[in-house]
Amino acid sequence: MGEVWVDAGDAAGAGALAGWLRRDPGMARSGIEIESGGTVPPEPSGADGAMGAVEMVTAVFDSTVGVLSLLVAVAAWRRPRGAKPPLVRVIEDDGTVVEGTAQEVLDTVRARREHQQSEA
């Protein structure tokens, strides 16, 4: 299992994002558990990008496909709001930490998955 932490900017943003993700049919099929609020994730970012406990949406996943779906959904949620891209941290089940915007993390996780498949 892995975890995803999304900084939604503030408590209202975290609640809105969590609600939107819970209603998303793709998220329902993925089996990802979505929560808003929580504790600061391990290895927090620098002061300007640090995630606060009330600003986060957290998700627990057990497949790379699930996390990819979640990252696409987060990016889609942000676009019409014109908000700055949220900071996303993915902690994979092997302990690998990937952090950046949803798009940056999506690109990195996809590349890691493709690399792992090519080695198999």
pLDDT at site 38: 60
pLDDT at residue 46 greater than cutoff 60 = no
pLDDT at residue 93 greater than cutoff 60 = yes
Phi, psi of 50 (to 5 degrees): -60, 145
In the chain, pLDDT over 70 holds for what percent of residues? 82
17-21, 67-71, 97-101, 108-112 — which is least confidently predicted? 67-71
Q: Return the residue matching tokens 């994979």.
A: 92
Mean pLDDT for the stretch of residues 17-29: 84
pLDDT at residue 108 greater than cutoff 70 = yes
Average pLDDT, rounded, for the chain: 78
DSSP 114: H
Give one DSSP letter per residue of 32-97, joined into a string.
-EEEE---PPSS---TTTPPPTTSEEEEEESSHHHHHHHHHHHHHHHGGGTPPPPEEEEE-TTS-E
